[in-house]
Structure 1
């Protein structure tokens, strides 16, 4: 299912999105940002930087300086633009997102170093290599009075000519985008935002009154453009079985009539009993609040904003030094809060702390996350799915089974002791689409277990199985240190119905027993025995 959401963009020269990562994450959370356009990220090429709840498209410089990136909320479908006109020493990335009413929008993020002189011809070629509606933003490091700088240089003139000749509109309102030093009176507006003319009236461009640790102001771009967002579904882990009341669960079945139920009716009975005895797990896409966040962090950020506002209103040396001092103090407060949170957690560690709690803490501090919803991650998913189900595989295969009248132990109906043995050996792993976990099967009352056994035997004797068992949840898991955009970087994990896997285990146990008792396996085989 799809839903619509108004697009909200953050544009910012971070002057190291590593050093200012905590400030950036707080801004993303508080401002509810959909897409962030970042300049001077300072990401090192060999280090995977993650932002919780966002995908990252980036271009890094070899020495770990400069760089640009786009952060995209995980719910938003996008594709990376590969065929952009390349310009020497220009950091450049682009994505394409789907907007409501069927048209697409290309969002380009760039960083141009102050020493890089780009010609009109290169700007023109770059703009013409972008298709559809355009949002073209970043730190251009050019000066033009039309954009809000105090003076115009040759680089600014060439960029403005290229922008005007290609009918783009600049959204800047004339405000400086750099926090000036008291010794330099010139205003600088080098963080620029351009867009296609029919989009210009749909945007509201404003400076955020906080530096967030950089010497550039963050820019908030609000719009009445609507994105198509994929609503996330979690097709597994529905019931919180750790909080189940199993006595209520078992007593919820009407044992007088369960023996006549079909498979679909039996599933409904299990779900009805679960609703009465087991709470639902709350669906949380990702945790916004940081475990290390304290009132002191919030207070220090407020003081930083106030110091910056005071300096802007009264630009003198004393206010400038107070603002710089408060900026440094805020970084220290956040850093110390994070450190103290980790130290306190380590002190409270003992053998009774669940391993899940430990990993959640590590992920919270290290900003690591594994995403379950991948259908909107990029073009690689289509190659991935094709490898799972290529066109040449037949949808329906006639096995031409010979129904012999000859009786054989392997074809006999299953017995209750076989089913009980399988139930005891199964761990409570993730269920399939039907939401039936192993613990729900294990805790069935005896009459229901007999009904399940009867259903299994009917399937086994007729060779007919529920069509629902053909549907699997497939989760692509990214392999360590592999590129995210390649389908070969993912390992598929399939989640089948636990009721199907229970029957498979019944069959497997019989086959293994028969092979072993009749000495059918080679003596040299040791694995999987």
Structure 2
């Protein structure tokens, strides 16, 4: 399953296993030494084959080689199976192949699972009970939670951010955490403007959802 595995690796592992079985049956000092030698030999052969395979692949790279080809080769060398792309959805025995239909179906499912109607009846009863209570909206907006964000709060939030994948804007958290003070101040101004005006950029409402199919599931 890996490109570096050849007959030499196969033979070395076979000899190692044979010595191991012999050691279990007859645990003598001589058999221990023989097993350790064959174990070291197998490890050396496998390590050499991995190195040779990688060097052979690197020598074939050119400026026109696609990054996808490189990552595919790395996964093969590590023995990882290639992930198949999602070409369809199977719902109640029916196959859906149209991309727009797939996207809409995933969106409606996520929307349904995230809606309040998906809560348990017990929680919904408590929710309705508390929603009947009047809420006082009178405020002079001087509370701490209504104040503009500080630069320290922004830095703390960035430090706690997860190293997750980028969104549609292709801006990574690692880029934001390494911004100079002047750029962070500008970013803080943008955040406070959104906070005080209540106007949220439409592009920030978008997200990239990657559907990972589970074996044997719709």
TM (normalized to structure 1)?
0.22
TM (normalized to structure 2)?
0.48
Going by fraction, where is helix more abundant, 1 or 2? 2
